[in-house]
Every structure is written in C-alpha cells, then in structure tokens.
Amino acid sequence: MCNINLLFTFLIIIALDYTVRVQGFRRYYDKKGRETVLALEGESFNMECKADVGLSYCGFRNPKGQRFSVASSGLKGGFCSLTVTTAKTDNGLWICHMGTHVTGLEKIKLIEVRVVDPVAAVWKNISLLHHSLGLVSCAAIQGMTPLTYCRFEPPNGPPFSINADITKDNPIQGKYFFPRNKSLDRGDCAVNILFTSEEDMGLWTCGASLEDGKEYTDTVYVYVHGFYKITTASVAPYLLGLLGFLLVVVVIGMVVWRRQLCVKIRPNEEGDVHEMQALPGPSRDLSLPRLVVESPTEPSSSLSHSQCSN
C-alpha cells in the first residue's frame, strides 16, 4: 500500500512539472501555417521541425544569427527538436534548416518567437477585409489561467470592457462583441468587430488582469484593406483619360460641323446660270437724257451792248 502511494505521489509530481512547463508558452498558427510561439522570459520549450521523410541533418538559426545543430535519433523519423530557454534576445524569427537528402535543396520552417508578459497579443499585426467580421485577440500565456476582466482601447473610439455576456445580439456601440469560442476562464481576451471599417484601422490596446490583480497590456495593429480611398494621385489618371476622350469628341464634332456648313453654303452652278439669263417678259428700252453742247458763233446782243456802254 505504501509503494502504491509513493508511485501515485511520484506521478502527480511528474504531471505537475509537465503542466507547469507546458503552461509557460503557447503556440499559434496563422492561415499560411506559420508558427508563432509566445513564451515568458526564462521559460523552456521545445522548438520543433518535422518532415515527411527522414532527415540527414537539422539545425536552427536564431534572430542574432547563431546556429545550433541537432544530432538525435529522431532525425531518421523526420523529427528535429531543440530545447530553448527564452531570453529577450530570442525575440524574432527563428529558421529551421532540414536536409531531407545528403545533397539537394533544404526544407525550411519559419518560427516566430515572442518573449512576452503573462498576457499578450496573439497576433501583433492583423489585416482585415473591409466590411467583414474581424477578430482582435490577446491571451494569458500561462495555460488556462482565468482572467478577472478584459478591456480594449480602439484607435478611434472610447475604451470598453467585454466578456461573454456581450454577444452579437447586444454588441457594444453596435459592432463589438465577445467571440463565442473564447472564454475569460481559459485566459482569452478577445473581441469580434462587426463590419470592419476605416475607423477600426490603427493601434489597438488590450488589457487584462490575472488573479494577482495586476493589469497586463499589449498592442495590436489592425490594417483594414478592400476599401477605395479617393486621393488626387488615384483620380488623376482617370481625369486625364476623361479629358482626352472629351477632347477627341469635340474635335470630331467640329470637323463634322464644318463639313455640313460647307455643303450648305456651296454655290449652285445651275442657279448661277439662271441668274445670268434675261428675265422673261417684254423688253423695255431705257431712254437716257441727251446732252447737246453748242459752241456760239456770234456774241450775244447783251454782251455787245455792255461792251459799247463801256
């Protein structure tokens, strides 16, 4: 009986040690399958790479450029693992190099490591489609640690607190509600955004408190795409094209108008002939006054009389 109790106690210790070790970090995968590990400073976790075939070699390179080779029996099964005790300098992109053959191209896996506080943003940068359903999420890093409250500070609006009581049927400000698959009891601090818009774009701050009563915060940058913002640079090509089209229409219209005008005012040759012909009807002789100039041969009597009197 004593041996059974000792065995049971030993198993509990192992389980507790394993639980603490696992609860010190969280793994997340984005839509492209890229892995992100959130870990507390000083925590140890296994950085893992897998391949469908056996590996001839495997190694890791940290953000500072340091390389770590892995030599274990697990390489034959396509498994490569490195135990890392996190420090602030481990923040960044880790690269796993896997040689699936002695020669040839390597298989590479990218792992983003973030050394964070007990509550941290799941994704630091989020891209959301305009007028779609968005998600901003933070979480407690130490496993299923309950949160006493969850709050957000949007970039263009008043701060608000949220929990599972805020559903899609009664959203805050008509657009913010708590996701159905999240829970404060599991350490989730998240918000769904109905019909994301331009005002949701910017730096968000999430804040949550653990049982220690201290609030932990982190930031998330939200980028909203899919809407068209009119600017001078974007409108200029269309305006130039429209002006060019209108100019062509005006030039063609002027050419057509001038041709029609020339046809209307062109002289009619047959009409000119009729104008030069004599008008029908009886002819009329035009009588012009005659001017007759006679030179006198003798001086007049009045002139002679005046000469004599002189």
Give the residue with greater pLDDT, 28 vs 309. 28
What one-character-per-residue DSSP string does the chain give? -HHHHHHHHHHHHHHHHHHHHHHTEEEEE-TT--EEEEEETT-EEEEEEE-SS--SEEEEE-TTS-EEEE--GGGGGTEEEEEEE--GGG-EEEEEEEESSSSSPPEEEEEEEEEE-SEEES-SEEEEETTS-EEEEEEESSSS---SEEEEE-TTS--EE--TT--TTS-BTTTEE--TT--GGGTEEEEEESS--GGG-EEEEEEEE-TTS-EEEEEEEEEEES-----HHHHHHHHHHHHHHHHHHHHHHHHHHHHHHHHHHSPPHHHHHHHHSPPSS---PPP---------SS--HHHHHHHHH-
Confidence check: pLDDT of 45 > 50: yes
C-alpha to C-alpha distance for 194 and 310, rounded to whole angstroms: 136
Average pLDDT over residues 119-143: 93
pLDDT score for 229: 56
Which residue from 127, 136, 214, 148 is spatially nearest to 178, judged by alpha carbons? 136
C-alpha to C-alpha distance for 224 and 132, rounded to whole angstroms: 10
Confidence of residue 181 (pLDDT cuts 50, 70, 90): very high
Domain 119-225 CATH class label = mainly beta
Confidence of residue 33 (pLDDT cuts 50, 70, 90): confident
pLDDT score for 280: 57
pLDDT score for 30: 82
Mean pLDDT score of the chain: 80
Average pLDDT over residues 293-303: 50
Between strands 35-40 and 107-116, the pairing is: parallel
Q: Please indicate whether the domains covering 20-116 and 119-225 agree at the CATH topology level.
A: yes
C-alpha to C-alpha distance for 17 and 89, rounded to whole angstroms: 26
Confidence of residue 189 (pLDDT cuts 50, 70, 90): very high
Confidence of residue 1 (pLDDT cuts 50, 70, 90): very low
Q: In this prediction, what percent of the chain has a pLDDT beyond 70?
A: 74
C-alpha to C-alpha distance for 156 and 204, rounded to whole angstroms: 9
CATH code of 20-116, in short, is 2.60.40.10
Average pLDDT over residues 247-273: 70
Which residue from 63, 38, 37, 39 is spatially nearest to 49, judged by alpha carbons? 37
Q: Which of 82-86, 152-156, 239-243 is predicted least confidently?
A: 239-243
pLDDT digits (tens, 9 = 90+) for 193-204: 999 999 999 999
Domain residues of the chain, as ranges? 20-116, 119-225
Confidence of residue 257 (pLDDT cuts 50, 70, 90): confident
C-alpha to C-alpha distance for 12 and 49, rounded to whole angstroms: 30
pLDDT score for 39: 93
Return all residues near 117 (Cβ < 8 A) that are at least 6 apart: 40, 141, 216, 218
pLDDT digits (tens, 9 = 90+) for 89-121: 999 999 999 998 878 899 999 999 999 999 999
C-alpha to C-alpha distance for 296 and 192, rounded to whole angstroms: 133
Which residue from 198, 207, 248 is spatially nearest to 228, judged by alpha carbons? 198
Confidence check: pLDDT of 17 > 80: no
Confidence of residue 173 (pLDDT cuts 50, 70, 90): very high
Confidence check: pLDDT of 269 > 70: no
pLDDT score for 149: 97
Q: In this prediction, what percent of the chain has a pLDDT beyond 90?
A: 55
C-alpha to C-alpha distance for 150 and 191, rounded to whole angstroms: 9
C-alpha to C-alpha distance for 112 and 91, rounded to whole angstroms: 8
pLDDT score for 231: 52
Between strands 125-129 and 215-225, the pairing is: parallel
Confidence of residue 24 (pLDDT cuts 50, 70, 90): low
